[in-house]
Amino acid sequence: MTQDEVISAEEKMAPVERNENLIKYNTRILNKNVVLNYLFAQDKLVGASYKLDDNYVNSDHFIQSYLQFKQVLAKKYGLPSEEFTNWLNDTYKNNRKKRGLALSLGHTEYATFWKTQNTTIECSLREENFNVLCLVEYWSIGHSHLLEEGKKEDKMDLF
Q: What is the pLDDT of residues 72-96, one digit of tens each?
A: 999 999 999 999 999 999 999 999 9
Cα–Cα distance for residue pair 159/32, rounded to 1 Å? 40
> For each of the chain's 159 residues, which pLDDT tens digit applies?
899 999 999 999 999 999 999 999 999 999 999 999 999 998 899 999 999 999 898 999 999 999 999 999 999 999 999 999 999 999 999 999 999 999 999 999 999 999 999 999 999 999 998 899 999 999 998 776 665 654 445 444 444
Q: Specify which residues 49 forms β-bridges with.
A: 37, 137
What pTM does this model have?
0.87
Chain mean pLDDT for the chain:
90
Find all residues with CB under 8 Å of 32, minimum gap 6, and list them: 52, 53, 54, 65
Query: Shortest CA distance to 6 belongs to which of 34, 53, 47, 51?
Result: 47
pLDDT of residue 17: 96
